[in-house]
């Protein structure tokens, strides 16, 4: 078994990212617990991060332009930072809502309907 | 001579202006002072009468010259693109005669009202209306063109409306006023149409210019069209007189108009306003003359109205209603006289009728005043002895209207009948003759029942004050001698005639026949109501249906009321229903549709963020698919490209 | 007259526009319980505007004609929007009418105590807005002022209105939505016209320049654009199927709003149809003329019959105003200088008349708290002056000679009977039914036996007499001396180029719609 032939290309990474994204998406659509939804959202963000990093590794010819080398990685870092902030705000909201409603079930949170 | 008179004639506009001034004065200054209001009004109308007499004398002196060349003064009133109207005064024998008659009767009535309206709360208002009426009527008489005439025509209609409804607290008066206005409005609709079509054709409304245009173009089919066009014009114009002069079928308002104060009935609904229609036909005679069909129609309507109204008058009991139907009948006389071509006879009758009918109305007013508002003739009786002046003057009026020589009615009525006979209208002559008989009959009936016979003990009549009897005496004089204007060489028809003047000798044979008819009528009434040889009740009992029909005025009012309440109001209700439920219903339906669709569509806003996100995601997927794989087909649907926003 | 003029010209019209606006600002900064002072200031503001517009009316040079007292300030040069004011024989009578009615409406609301400050602020905005539409020489400004008008009307009906057959909320909503739907169609037409006129560059909104670029508008474009405007302006002038806002709206609105709405606001429709429709899109007007004429007849007769069946005074007058607007429409459909003369004069005449009647009905309602005709009667006993005002209004409504309404109707009939004889005859038949319903309400409200329940009522007096005096005087002055009004209107029609337009239209080979 030649492990050298078993090259891991860009599409493999994208496949992993897409799977992760779909899992997250499924979670966001289907979960009823608001904390689970927030976690699924994190999954989706991380799926995007994988894409960023993968594109950064494969798409640019690193010898040509040094400036592009870390673009994707930086974007992924930004996403992580924003995700952290988002989860902070999101959890704060969840706690407030829970205090008011004694519930974390999103089905009951339809106060904005028509 | 003519030159000097010319200067006088130019001041004719003062005659209507004076009463108008008095109207303004009463309305804005003296309305709180009863004495001042009546003084102002009477002074104004007397001055106007003086001026009218001066102009009348001037006309007689000017003679034939004025007949050929009327004195016209006019100024521009309205001048816009395609429409130019002047307003002014015309002085010719016809307008001079009318001025005199109107001013005379108006001043007599205003003096009479001093007594009759004594103690009425609306005194100042009454004199204001009287002045306004005098202004409008005199202004109408002086009109130089059709539109001016129409304007004043409507204004006299307004005054008539206001004066019929003078006692506005009476429901009957208020309804009668409304009825009068609306009925005449129906006629005015035709008149207005006629005016519009005439202006359209000839670009002028001036009487003289219209006459000239018509006569020069009568042969020219391109301008006038056919005689049919002229006939239509004449019909339309004649609708106005039918309303105003109470010709069948628009006569219904005149008997009801008796709800007004009696002096008003004398002035407006007997002597002056109601003859405006005759005056209009006389003014537009050149148009009617050009269309034999129209003349036939005029004659037919007039004759029918004459006999129709006379037959109703026989079966009425209210003194003012008898006089009202008599007025209708006499108006029919004047109208059919015009129709048969007895132009000057018609206008002659207009003048004499104004004298004796105003006299009789004022006499009736005097009686009503004395009997405290009793109007049924069967409640009266033996009044002659208690009210000698009223009785005597009324008797003169009866003789005059019955055509007994030498009183005024004899001359004019005879001329009309002679005209009908000699111009080849035997049927109309027969109708007129029979009407003369009926007229004499119902007038004598009225006189015999109310003034002779036994006194009623419950009545305590007394002669009216001088302010009321003096006008009676003056009008009685005119009723007695007014007809003599037919006798001199320069007689009435020398001044007032249509076309070439042809002096006509008196036809004593025809005159004799009509006198006999009148005397027969009086004698018949004498037999029934004084001698009581035949009981009036027995006649009524013998022909119950005829009596009921006559007493109910052929049920024409009922028919009209049915039409108004069921057809017109019904249509109004139906259209209102349509408006609310269909026209507005569609609008509300659209609004409802908007609301309804919103109600359905808002269900999509579930409030579930997960649902929104799912829809959003799949929509993005679909759009992505479309743009990725359907490029070629769908680029034309690209909304940005359609807007031209994408290069 | 070119839009390139930076400034200069007469400041008369901005002053007229500014007077009520200034009064409005003063009132805004006043304590709200000073109602007496508020009314006096509002009256002063509108009086200045009325006096100045009377001055303009008589100072206007009729022999010269055209737009006078012009002022042009470029506003958005890139789009060709100019702050352009000016009046001619068509708009000056409308301007005067606005101010006459505006001034009277202040006095008609003299007894308003409920939130008086807000009421008069909104009323003054309303008056200013209406005035602005008439003095605008620029389509954009015209539209702007028109939209300004909508806001106060809505608020005023909702707050100060009255609920009868329909609730005041419904009435206010209906009124506003109709105005807005009309203006939406108008906006489309306006933009289309603007784009068509700017095809060869040099965009403009100025009326006269839009009219001068006839060659840029193809016949199909004219038809479509005029159709849009007919819809917009037609619903404003309460043309037949779009009239149902009018009776409901007037019945719901407070007196002053009814006066201004029936008196002048409605006339923006007729004015717009002439100024923008006939003048700018003559071929479109020709194409639509048969439709307008047919709908106009529906207006006249249909509304007159419905007025016969009404029990509420304001509904009678509401439908009567729909009926009278039919005469304006038939005059516009006739498309000749005589009838256009009549249309403008009729708008003036009807404005004065309806404002007078609405103010009188307002007083009746204020005193008796009912407008139901069977409940009223014999008011002439207690309130003779009110009765006089009502009768004058009624007589003007049925077109009695010596009122300005008669001569306007006559001119309309004269102008239209040549072109549309059948429609004109049907329209003239309307005068009979107008007489019937008008005399009925006069008889049933004013005349008849004395009713003791009204014995404590006081006749109108003092400030309440102002609408009667001002409007009554105008009715008779212009009716007895018609050249005062018609001289101006005629100079507007003959000098504004409208006459030329109408002559070319009458020769155009294009037949009507049918």
Bigger pLDDT: A66 vs C308: C308
Residue C512 lies in a domain: no
Helices B319-339 and B408-422, packing angle to 10 deg: 40
Helices (DSSP H) in C369-514: which residue ranges? 379-382, 384-397, 404-419, 421-441, 466-480, 483-495, 498-507
Q: Tell me, yes or no, whether B474 and B597 share the same domain.
A: no
The pLDDT assigned to B638 comes to: 52
Do residue A106 and residue B617 have CB atoms under 8 angstroms apart? Answer: no
Give the pLDDT score at C320. Answer: 92
Average confidence score pLDDT of chain B? 85
Crossing angle of helices B93-116 and B34-62, in 10° steps, is 160
- Among C266, C27, C19, C23, which residue's Cα sits nearest to residue C130? C266
Query: Is the Cα torsion angle B529, B531, B537, B539 positive or negative in sign?
Result: negative
Q: Cis bond leading into B568, ω under 30°?
A: no
Q: Beta-carbon neighbour count of residue C321 at 10 Å?
A: 29
pLDDT in tens, C396-410: 998 898 899 999 999
B626 and B498 in a single domain? The answer is: no
Please report whether residue B215 resides in a domain: no
Is residue B131 domain-shared with residue B117, that is, in the same domain? yes
Rounded to whole angstroms, how far apart are CA atoms C428 and B178? Answer: 20
- For residue B620, being part of any structural domain is answered with yes
Return the closest-CA partner of residue C66 out of C87, C82, C83, C85: C87
Shortest Cα–Cα distance, C219 to chain B (Å): 24
Note down the domain range covering C174.
Answer: 11-506
Query: Alpha-carbon distance B270 to C399, whole Å?
Result: 26
List chain B residues with CB under 8 Å of A29.
610, 613-614, 617
- Chain C residue with minimal CA distance to B148? C401
Pairing of strands C68-76, B83-91: unpaired
* B261 domain residue, yes or no: no
Which residues 567-626 on chain B approach chain A with CB closer than 8 angstroms? 602-603, 605-610, 613-614, 617
Q: Quick one: pLDDT at residue A91?
A: 92
Same domain, B2 and B140: yes
What residues have CB less than 8 Å from C421, skipping those under 6 apart? none
| CA gap C138, C69 in Å, rounded | 15
Write the Ramachandran bin of C481: left for phi over 0, alpha for psi from -120 to 50, otherwise beta.
beta
Helix (H, G, I), strand (E, B) or coil at A97: helix
What are B103-152's pLDDT values in tens digits? 999 999 999 998 888 888 888 899 999 999 999 999 999 999 899 999 99
| Residue C104: per-residue pLDDT | 93
Q: How many residues does chain C have?
A: 514
CA–CA gap between residue C248 and residue C266 (Å, rounded): 14
pLDDT higher than 70, residue A3: no
The C-alpha atoms of residue B284 and residue B295 are separated, in whole angstroms, by 12
CB within 8 Å: B80 and C486: yes
Give the Cα separation of B610 and B595 in Å (integer): 27
In a domain, residue B7? The reply is: yes
d(CA C451, CA C159): 32
Q: What is the DSSP-derived secondary structure letter of residue B75?
A: E
Whole-angstrom distance, CA of residue B393 vs CA of residue B480: 10
Please check the confidence at residue C354 and state whether its pLDDT lies above 90: yes
Query: Alpha carbon C343 to chain centroid distance?
Result: 11
Structural domain including B50 reads: 1-144
| CA A76/CA B177 separation, integer angstroms | 95
Name chain C's partners: 3 or more CB pairs within 8 A. B
Instruction: Check if the beta carbon of residue B344 is closer than 8 Å to that of residue B493.
Output: yes
pLDDT in tens, B139-196: 999 999 899 999 999 999 999 999 998 988 888 899 899 999 999 999 999 999 999 9
All residues of chain A having their beta carbon less than 8 Å from the beta carbon of residue B609 are: 106, 109
What confidence score (pLDDT) does residue A66 get? Answer: 61
pLDDT of residue B465: 84
Beta strand B83-91 with C81-87: parallel, antiparallel or unpaired? unpaired
pLDDT at residue B579 greater than cutoff 80: yes
Q: Over 90: is that where the pLDDT of B215 sits? A: no
Residue B552 is predicted with a pLDDT of: 79
Residue percentage of chain B with pLDDT more than 70 = 94
- Inform me whether the pLDDT recorded for C507 exceeds 70: no
By mean pLDDT, which of B421-425, B429-433, C271-275 is the weakest? Answer: B421-425
The answer for residues whose C-beta is within 8 angstroms of residue B220's C-beta and 6 or more apart is none
**From the CA atom positions of chain A, what is the Rg in Å?**
19
User: Is a pLDDT exceeding 80 seen at residue C440?
Assistant: yes
DSSP C13-69: HHHHHHHHHHHHHHHHTS-TT-HHHHHHHHHHHHHHHHHHHHHHHHHS-TTT-SSEE
DSSP B525-592: HIIIIIS-SS-HHHHHHHSHHHHHHHHTGGGHHHHHHHIIIIIIHHHHHHHHHHIIIIIHHHHHHHHH
Query: Residue C479 is encoded by which pair of tokens?
Result: 């009716």
What CA–CA distance (Å, rounded) separates B158 from B143?
A: 18
SS percent in chain C: helix, strand, coil, step 5: 75, 5, 20
Phi, psi of B23 (to 5 degrees): -60, -45
Q: Does B312 lie in the same domain as B415?
A: yes
Could you tell me if B598 and B614 lie in one domain? no
Q: Let me know if residue C2 belongs to a domain.
A: no
**3 state DSSP class of B77:** strand
A33 strand-pairing partners: A105
Task: Note the ipTM here.
Answer: 0.91
What is the domain count for chain B? Answer: 4
φ, ψ of residue C200 in degrees (nearest 5): -105, 35
pLDDT digits (tens, 9 = 90+) for B616-631: 888 988 888 877 776 5
Residue of B nearest to C449 (CA): B169
B512 and B577 in a single domain? The answer is no
Q: Which of C241, C414, C483 sits opposite B583 (nearest CB)?
A: C241
User: Whole-angstrom Cα distance, residue B187 to residue B240?
Assistant: 4
Is some CB atom of chain B closer than 8 A to the CB atom of C20? no
Q: Specify the pLDDT at position B605.
A: 78
Predicted confidence (pLDDT) per residue in C339-352, tens digit? 999 999 999 999 99
| CA–CA dist B304, B434 (Å, integer) | 12
Is residue C192, in this structure, part of any structural domain at all? yes
End of a domain among B546, B575, B590?
B546
Q: Give yes or no: residues B448 and B585 share one domain.
A: no
- Per-residue pLDDT of B520-556, as tens digits, reads 888 888 888 877 777 777 777 777 888 888 777 788 8
In-domain check, residue C1:
no
φ, ψ (nearest 5 deg) of residue B295: -60, -45
Distance CA B413, CA B330 (A): 9
On whether any CB of chain B is under 8 Å from the CB of A106, the answer is yes
Q: What percent of chain B has pLDDT over 90?
A: 21
Residue B1 pLDDT > 60: no
pLDDT at B642 over 50: no
Residue with tokens 């506009």: B13
Residue C2 has pLDDT above 60, yes or no: no
Pick from C18-32, C449-463, C489-503 the range whose average pLDDT is largest: C18-32
B117 shares its domain with B24:
yes
B409 within a domain of the structure (yes/no): yes
Distance CA C300, CA B575 (A): 13
What span, in angstroms and rounded, lies between the C-alpha atoms of B206 and C123? Answer: 48
Distance in angstroms (rounded) separating the CA atoms of residues B417 and B414: 5
Calpha distance B24→B40 (Å, rounded)? 10
> For C204-218, what is the mean pLDDT?
85
Record: contact C395-B575, CB cut-off 8 A:
no
Q: How far is Cα C253 from Cα C238, in angstroms, rounded to an integer?
A: 16
Candidates B601, B606, B612, B615: best to mutate against A (most CBs of A within 10 A) is: B606
Bridge partner list, C9: C71
- Chain B neighbors of C490, CB-CB under 8 A: 79-81
CB-based touch C/B (3+ pairs, under 8 A): yes
Q: Which residue, chain included where needed, has tokens 């054709």? A: B201
Distances (CA, A) of B123 to B40, B367, C185: 13, 21, 59
Question: What's residue C468's pLDDT?
Answer: 92
Give the end-to-end CA distance of chain B in Å, rounded to a whole number. Answer: 96
Give a yes or no: residue B294 inside a domain: no
Classify residue C477: in a domain, yes or no. Answer: yes
Other Cβ atoms closer than 10 A to B291: 20
Give the mean pLDDT of chain C.
88
Which chain A residues contact residue B610 at CB under 8 A?
28-30, 37, 106
Within this chain, do residues B478 and B616 fall inside the same structural domain, yes or no? no
Same domain, B372 and B496: yes
- Give strand pairing partners of B88: B74
Contacts with B600 (C-beta within 8 Å, 6 or more apart), sequence order: none
Res B78: pLDDT: 87
- What are the DSSP calls for B196-226, one per residue? HHHHHHHS--BHHHHHHHHHHHTT-HHHH--
Q: For residue range A46-76, what is the model confidence (pLDDT) as tens digits?
A: 999 999 988 888 776 556 666 666 778 888 9
Tell whether the model's pLDDT for residue C512 goes beyond 70. Answer: no
Among C166, C182, C387, C401, pick the best mutation site for testing chain B contact (most B Cβ within 10 A): C401
B641: confidence class by pLDDT, cuts 50, 70, 90: very low
How many structural domains comprise chain C?
1
ω into C71 cis (within 30 of 0)? no
Q: Are C340 and C493 in contact (CB under 8 A)?
A: yes
Q: Is residue C227 part of a domain?
A: yes
Contact exists between A and B (3 or more beta carbon pairs < 8 Å): yes
Neighbours of chain B (3+ CB pairs under 8 A): A, C
Whether A5 has a pLDDT exceeding 60, the answer reads no
| Confidence (pLDDT) at C97 | 94
Question: Quick one: closest CA in C to B185, which residue?
Answer: C432
d(CA C235, CA C246): 10
Look at residue B2 in the predicted model and tell me its pLDDT.
Answer: 58
Q: Give the residue from B128, B200, B137 showing the smallest Cα distance to B163.
A: B128
Q: What share of chain B is helix, strand, coil (3-state, %, to 5)?
A: 80, 5, 20
Total residues found in chain B within this entry: 647
User: Both B627 and B587 in a single domain?
Assistant: no
pLDDT at B45 over 80: yes
Cβ–Cβ gap B613/A28 under 8 Å: yes
Give the C-alpha separation, B503 to B486, whole Å.
11
Comparing B35-49, B322-336, B626-640, the range with the smallest average pLDDT is: B626-640
Domains and CATH numbers, chain A: 7-108 (1.10.287.3510)
């Amino acid at each position: 078994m030649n492990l050298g032939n078993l090259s891991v290309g860009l599409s493999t990474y994208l496949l992993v990212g897409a799977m992760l994204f779909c899992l997250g998406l499924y979670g966001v659509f289907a979960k009823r617990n608001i904390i689970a939804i927030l976690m699924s959202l994190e999954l989706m963000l991380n799926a995007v991060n994988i894409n960023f990093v993968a594109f950064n590794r494969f798409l640019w010819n690193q010898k040509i332009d040094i400036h592009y080398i870390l673009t994707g990685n930086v974007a992924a870092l930004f996403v992580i930072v924003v995700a952290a902030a988002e989860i902070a705000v999101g959890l704060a909201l969840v706690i407030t809502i829970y205090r008011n409603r004694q519930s974390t079930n999103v089905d009951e949170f339809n106060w904005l309907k028509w | 001579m003519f030159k000097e008179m010319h200067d006088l004639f130019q001041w004719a506009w003062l005659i209507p202006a004076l009463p108008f001034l008095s109207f303004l004065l009463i309305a804005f200054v003296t309305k709180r002072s009863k004495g001042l209001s009546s003084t102002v009004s009477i002074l104004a109308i007397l001055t106007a009468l003086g001026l009218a007499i001066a102009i009348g004398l001037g006309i007689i002196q000017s003679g034939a010259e004025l007949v050929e060349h009327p004195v016209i003064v006019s100024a521009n009133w309205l001048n816009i693109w395609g429409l130019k109207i002047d307003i002014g005064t015309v002085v010719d024998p016809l307008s001079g005669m009318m001025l005199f008659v109107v001013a005379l009767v108006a001043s007599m009535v205003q003096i009479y009202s001093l007594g009759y309206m004594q103690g009425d709360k609306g005194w100042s208002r009454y004199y204001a209306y009287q002045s306004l009426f005098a202004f409008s009527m005199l202004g109408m008489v002086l009109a130089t063109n059709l539109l001016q005439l129409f304007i004043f025509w409507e204004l006299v209609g307004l005054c008539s409306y206001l004066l019929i409804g003078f006692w506005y607290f009476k429901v009957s008066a208020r309804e009668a006023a409304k009825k009068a206005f609306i009925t005449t409005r129906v006629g005015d609709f035709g008149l207005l149409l006629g005016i519009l079509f005439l202006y359209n054709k000839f670009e002028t409304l001036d009487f003289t210019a219209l006459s000239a245009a018509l006569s020069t173009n009568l042969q020219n089919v391109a301008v006038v069209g056919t005689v049919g066009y002229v006939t239509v014009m004449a019909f339309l114009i004649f609708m106005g007189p039918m309303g105003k002069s109470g010709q069948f079928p628009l006569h219904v308002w005149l008997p009801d108009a008796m709800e007004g104060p009696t002096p008003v009935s004398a002035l407006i609904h007997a002597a002056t306003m109601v003859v405006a229609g005759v005056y209009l036909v006389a003014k537009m005679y050149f148009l009617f003359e050009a269309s034999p069909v129209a003349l036939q129609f005029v004659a037919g309507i007039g004759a029918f109205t004459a006999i129709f109204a006379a037959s109703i008058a026989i079966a009425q009991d209210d003194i003012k209603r008898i006089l009202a139907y008599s007025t209708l009948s006499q108006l029919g006389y004047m109208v059919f006289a015009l129709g048969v071509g007895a132009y000057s006879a018609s206008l002659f009758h207009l003048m004499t009728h104004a004298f004796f009918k105003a006299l009789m109305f004022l006499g009736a007013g005097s009686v009503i005043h004395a009997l405290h508002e009793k109007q049924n003739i069967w409640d009266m009786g033996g009044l002659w002895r208690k009210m000698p002046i009223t009785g005597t003057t009324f008797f003169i009026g009866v003789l005059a209207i019955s055509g007994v020589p030498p009183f005024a009615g004899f001359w004019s009525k005879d001329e009309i009948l002679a005209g009908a006979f000699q111009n080849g209208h035997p049927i109309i002559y027969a109708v007129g003759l029979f009407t003369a008989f009926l007229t004499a009959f119902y007038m004598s009936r009225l006189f015999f029942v109310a003034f002779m016979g036994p006194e009623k003990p419950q009545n305590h009549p007394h002669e009216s004050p001088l302010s009321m009897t003096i006008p009676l005496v003056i009008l009685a004089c005119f009723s007695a001698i007014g007809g003599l204007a037919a006798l001199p060489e320069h007689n009435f028809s020398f001044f007032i005639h249509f076309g070439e003047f042809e002096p006509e000798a008196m036809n004593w044979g025809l005159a004799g026949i009509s006198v006999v008819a009148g005397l027969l009528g009086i004698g018949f009434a004498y037999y029934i109501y004084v001698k009581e040889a035949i009981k009036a009740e027995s006649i009524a009992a013998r022909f119950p249906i005829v009596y009921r029909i006559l007493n109910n005025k052929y049920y024409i009012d009922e028919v009209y009321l049915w039409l108004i309440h069921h057809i017109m109001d019904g249509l109004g209700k139906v259209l209102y229903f349509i408006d609310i439920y269909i026209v507005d219903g569609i609008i509300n339906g659209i609004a409802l549709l908007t609301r309804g669709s919103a109600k359905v569509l808002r269900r999509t806003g579930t409030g579930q963020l997960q649902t929104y996100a799912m829809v959003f995601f799949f929509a993005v997927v679909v759009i992505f698919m479309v743009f990725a794989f359907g490029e070629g087909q769908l680029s034309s649907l690209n909304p940005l490209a359609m807007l031209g926003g994408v290069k | 007259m070119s839009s390139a003029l930076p400034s200069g010209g007469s400041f008369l019209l901005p002053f007229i526009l500014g007077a009520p606006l200034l009064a409005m600002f003063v009132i805004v900064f006043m304590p709200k319980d000073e109602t007496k002072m508020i009314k006096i200031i509002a009256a002063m503001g509108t009086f200045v505007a009325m006096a100045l517009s009377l001055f303009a009316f008589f100072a206007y040079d009729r022999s010269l004609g055209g737009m006078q007292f012009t002022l042009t300030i470029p506003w958005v040069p890139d789009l060709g929007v100019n702050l352009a004011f000016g009046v001619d024989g068509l708009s000056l009578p409308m301007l005067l009418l606005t101010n006459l009615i505006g001034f009277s409406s202040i006095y008609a609301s003299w007894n308003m105590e409920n939130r008086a400050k807000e009421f008069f602020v909104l009323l003054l905005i309303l008056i200013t807005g209406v005035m602005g539409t008439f003095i605008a020489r620029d389509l954009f400004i015209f539209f702007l002022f028109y939209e300004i008008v909508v806001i106060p009307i809505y608020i005023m009906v909702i707050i100060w209105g009255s609920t009868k057959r329909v609730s005041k909320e419904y009435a206010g909503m209906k009124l506003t939505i109709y105005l807005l739907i009309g203006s939406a169609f108008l906006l489309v037409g306006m933009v289309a016209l603007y784009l068509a006129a700017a095809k060869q560059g040099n965009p403009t909104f100025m009326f006269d320049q839009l009219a001068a670029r006839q060659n840029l508008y193809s016949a199909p474009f004219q038809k479509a654009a005029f159709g849009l405007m007919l819809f917009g302006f037609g619903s404003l002038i309460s043309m037949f199927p779009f009239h149902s806002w009018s009776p409901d709206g007037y019945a719901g609105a407070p007196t002053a709003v009814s006066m201004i709405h029936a008196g002048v606001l409605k006339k923006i429709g007729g004015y717009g149809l002439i100024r923008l429709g006939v003048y700018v899109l003559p071929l479109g007007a020709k194409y639509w003329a048969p439709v307008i004429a047919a709908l106009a007849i529906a207006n006249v007769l249909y509304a007159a019959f419905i007025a016969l069946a009404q029990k509420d005074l304001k509904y009678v007058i509401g439908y009567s105003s729909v009926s009278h607007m039919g005469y304006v429409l038939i005059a516009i459909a006739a498309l000749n200088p005589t009838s256009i003369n009549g249309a403008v004069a009729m708008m003036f005449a009807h404005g004065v008349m309806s404002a007078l009647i609405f103010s009188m009905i307002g007083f009746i309602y204020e005193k008796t708290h009912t407008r139901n005709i069977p409940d009223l009667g014999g008011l002439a006993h207690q309130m003779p002056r009110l009765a006089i005002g009502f009768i004058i209004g009624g007589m003007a409504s049925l077109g009695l000679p010596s009122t300005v309404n008669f001569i306007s109707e006559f001119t309309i009939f004269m102008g239209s009977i040549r072109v549309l004889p059948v429609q004109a005859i049907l329209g003239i038949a309307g005068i009979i039914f107008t007489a019937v319903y008008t005399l009925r309400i006069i008889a049933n409200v004013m005349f008849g036996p004395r009713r003791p329940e009204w014995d404590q009522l006081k006749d109108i007096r003092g400030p309440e007499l102002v609408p009667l005096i001002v409007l009554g005087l105008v009715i008779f002055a212009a009716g007895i001396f018609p050249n005062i009004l018609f001289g101006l209107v005629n100079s507007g029609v003959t000098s504004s180029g409208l006459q030329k337009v109408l002559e070319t239209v009458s020769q155009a080979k294009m037949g009507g719609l049918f």
